[in-house]
Homo-oligomer: A and B are copies of this chain.
């Protein structure tokens, strides 16, 4: 990273600006969160009218590691970050119908200054988070009482990916208030599904950082390395060059057969296989900046040159990827994009000789789910599997193989950010029953497929924002076979000359 010439630049920034130093994105908290609070408040007003009282959220607390005194590095609860952007633990936040916003901060003991750093006063916190007032948590009941609101609106609902309940605000004295739990959760989840321009800029930055790190990983890959060496390179680049401290999810650095394990990389399959010469690599890694995520997957041959089989599979997945990016626009149903991806994937596999027969029949028989047992993509934002995928009044989850794995069945709207991540895997668990299924066997070229069993898979994942008349990928990594091979051989990225040549 380049050093500041003038190291005092920081002092000229407004107190509410988040950044991580030179060459990192500067975020005006006032612009980002004031617009979000206004959006949520407007929806609450439309819903509740005169019944609207005070929106009250509770921020996250520490992540204890078992019974020890060690804590995981704090990461703010998603809904609270969305509304207030607070970096510290144990806050509460309120939005009044006037639009005024209040934060409540914990009153820290004086010795906190020795262990954790200088204790900021309420005015400094107010300026940092660009809210209208800051009080201490121990004053919360009194302050809220004085507002004489008809109700406190609390966040109460179930995350549709985890089945776990949202953090509902609770504090000493809440029993003396009238509370309402129905309105806020579906409105906030729905608001989060459609990003503001300011949110998209943050996600664009997280994509730039992770894209560059993926390119570096491609350059560093070679047989003989452990898979985790590439995880280490990726994380270091995201942090050192981009100021992105956390990965939003455990990096998946899969070589060879591990590429067929969709959530490889976890503690019991810890990216610790040694990379072999003929392996296909599948790298699903992202970063987060100001809690907003990128989520990118690249696939490439470990030794830098595709075999014919690898190319055949890869280009089938790439065809699916491109077909979806060409079709996405407001009004399109996401399950239709999933089916479009399956159609392109199976068409490519047919042309390459891995399947045979009628692609329509394959779709009807859900053969796509044998090759791609996951959904085409998911909403992305503060959560990697972002909220708002399934809500009352929106299209419900399908019951069909493949489609039922989709984390949303929504109709696309401008401002949604969604991953496009078709894949194709040769996994014993899904493929073996299909090869033995009389209804499917005639569609599969078994000797070609057997040759690929145990070789893993390919996934190509971009983060895509829906625009008023189409879509735009925020991701910028080599995708064409020629681009991948050129970058792995040490070529520049982006490679303007190669791109022009390919589009000519």
- Chain B residues within 8 Å of A113, by CB: 427-429
Contact mask for chain A residues 230-249; partner B; CB cutoff 8 A; 1 contact, 0 none: 01110110011001010011
Which of chain B's residues has its CB closest to A269's CB? B117
**Can you give 28 A-B contacts (C-beta < 8 A)?**
A4-B274, A7-B276, A20-B226, A20-B228, A21-B272, A21-B274, A22-B226, A22-B274, A63-B65, A63-B72, A66-B167, A67-B78, A68-B78, A68-B161, A69-B162, A70-B383, A71-B250, A88-B267, A89-B267, A114-B373, A115-B263, A116-B261, A116-B263, A117-B261, A117-B268, A228-B240, A231-B239, A233-B240
Docked-complex contact A67 and B115, CB < 8 angstroms: no
Complex Cα spacing A78 to B225, Å: 30
Contact among B10, B224, B245, B429 with A114 in the assembled complex (CB-CB below 8 Å): B429
Which of chain B's residues has its CB closest to A77's CB? B66
Contact mask for chain A residues 78-99; partner B; CB cutoff 8 A; 1 contact, 0 none: 1000000001110000000000
Determine how many copies of this chain the complex contains: 2
Which of chain B's residues has its CB closest to A230's CB? B240
Complex Cα spacing A93 to B180, Å: 45
- Chain B residues within 8 Å of A118, by CB: 261, 428
Interface centre among A166, A250, A274 (most CB of B within 10 A): A274
- Chain B residues within 8 Å of A34, by CB: none
Question: How many chain-A residues does the 8 Å CB contact rule pick out?
Answer: 82
Interface centre among A1, A222, A239, A383 (most CB of B within 10 A): A239
Does A75 touch B at the CB level, under 8 Å?
yes
Docked-complex contact A429 and B111, CB < 8 angstroms: yes
Docked-complex contact A272 and B248, CB < 8 angstroms: no
Decide yes or no: A229 and B114 within 8 Å by CB, A88-B267, A235-B235 being known contacts: no
Does A177 touch B at the CB level, under 8 Å?
no
Does A400 touch B at the CB level, under 8 Å?
no
Does A280 touch B at the CB level, under 8 Å?
no
Does A270 touch B at the CB level, under 8 Å?
yes
- Chain B residues within 8 Å of A70, by CB: 248-249, 383-385
Main secondary structure of the interface of A (DSSP, over half): loop
Contact among B73, B226, B263 with A266 in the assembled complex (CB-CB below 8 Å): B73
Complex Cα spacing A19 to B268, Å: 13
- Chain B residues within 8 Å of A193, by CB: none
Does A49 touch B at the CB level, under 8 Å?
no
Does A223 touch B at the CB level, under 8 Å?
yes
Contact among B67, B262, B263 with A167 in the assembled complex (CB-CB below 8 Å): B67
Does A468 touch B at the CB level, under 8 Å?
no
Docked-complex contact B110 and A268, CB < 8 angstroms: no
Does A3 touch B at the CB level, under 8 Å?
yes
Docked-complex contact B114 and A427, CB < 8 angstroms: yes
- Chain B residues within 8 Å of A22, by CB: 226, 274
Docked-complex contact A1 and B67, CB < 8 angstroms: no
Docked-complex contact B429 and A164, CB < 8 angstroms: no
- Chain B residues within 8 Å of A75, by CB: 65-66, 267
Complex Cα spacing A250 to B429, Å: 39
- Chain B residues within 8 Å of A4, by CB: 224, 274
Residues 33-83 of A contacting B (Cβ, < 8 Å): 60, 63-75, 77-78
Does A398 touch B at the CB level, under 8 Å?
no
- Chain B residues within 8 Å of A269, by CB: 116-117
Does A205 touch B at the CB level, under 8 Å?
no
Docked-complex contact A224 and B7, CB < 8 angstroms: yes
Further 7 A-B residue pairs, CB within 8 A, beyond A66-B167, A68-B78, A71-B250: A1-B225, A1-B229, A67-B159, A67-B167, A75-B267, A114-B373, A232-B236
Docked-complex contact A261 and B115, CB < 8 angstroms: yes
Which of chain B's residues has its CB closest to A384's CB? B70
Complex Cα spacing A205 to B305, Å: 37
